[in-house]
Amino acid sequence: MIKARLETRNFMFEAYGSTKEEALACLINGWKNHCKDYKNASSFEDISVNGEEVCYFEILKGKCYRDNELVI
Q: CA–CA separation, 9 vs 46, rounded Å?
A: 13
Q: Give ∠ CA 27-72-62 in degrees, rounded to 5.
A: 50
- For position 49, what pLDDT does the model report? 45
The pLDDT tens digits of the residues spanning 11-46 come to 899 999 999 999 999 998 998 888 888 876 666 666
Q: Could you tell me the pTM of the whole model?
A: 0.78
Share of the chain above pLDDT 90, in %: 43
- For position 10, what pLDDT does the model report? 84
pLDDT value at 50 more than 60:
no
- For residues 60 and 54, the answer to whether their CB atoms sit within 8 Å is no
pLDDT value at 54 more than 60:
yes
